[in-house]
């Protein structure tokens, strides 16, 4: 089974640099989940569901706990134009939230995407 790594910002996000920080995180990590909590201890059911799907697919992924950074938590929704958490990015492309990722998993689309 692949490991999930929790990542943190190198320097604190500010309202002035948060978009730059988000672009950097998304650019540096092939598969990143902005979620409540982390892979070991998700803090909401939707985040837990996404983590479970990724673990079942045996893919390596990184997580960012939005509960630890209020600025990122507020900005990520505007950044992606998506109103809910978790948010999943793969190779710098926004995949969606829990509902879309669950649907992709059920249709076998994630298996094909992560090959």
Give, to the nearest 10 degrees, the angle between helix 45-56 and helix 98-106.
30
Taking the C-alpha atoms of residue 100 and residue 13, their distance in angstroms, rounded to an integer, is 28
* 99 three-state secondary structure: helix
Q: How far apart are CA 1 and CA 3, in angstroms?
A: 7
Phi and psi for 54 in degrees, rounded to 5?
-65, -35
Structural domain of residue 8, as residue ranges? Answer: 4-113
Residue 19's pLDDT band (cuts 50, 70, 90): very high
4-6 β-sheet, strand order: 4-6, 61-65, 31-35, 87-90, 93-96
Mean pLDDT, to the nearest integer, of 98-113? 96
pLDDT at 4 over 90: no
How many structural domains does the chain have? 1
Name the band, by pLDDT with cuts 50, 70 and 90, for residue 3. low
Contacts of 26 (CB under 8 A, 6+ apart): 32, 89, 92
| pLDDT of 50 over the 90 cut | yes
CATH number for the domain spanning 39: value is 3.40.30.10
Q: Is residue 98 predicted with pLDDT exceeding 70?
A: yes
Q: Who wins on pLDDT, 7 or 105?
A: 105
Of 14 and 50, the one with more pLDDT: 50
Mean pLDDT over 40-57 rounds to 96
């Amino acid at each position: 089974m692949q490991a999930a790594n929790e990542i943190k910002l190198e320097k604190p996000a500010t309202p002035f640099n948060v978009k730059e920080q988000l672009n950097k995180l998304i650019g540096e990590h092939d598969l990143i989940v902005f979620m409540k909590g982390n892979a070991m201890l998700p803090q909401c059911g939707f985040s837990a569901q996404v983590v479970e799907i990724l673990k079942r697919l045996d893919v390596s992924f990184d997580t960012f706990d939005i509960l630890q950074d209020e600025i990122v938590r507020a900005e990520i929704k505007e950044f992606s134009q998506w109103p809910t958490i978790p948010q999943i990015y793969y190779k710098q492309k926004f995949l969606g939230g829990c509902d879309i990722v669950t649907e992709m998993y059920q249709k076998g689309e994630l298996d094909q995407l992560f090959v």
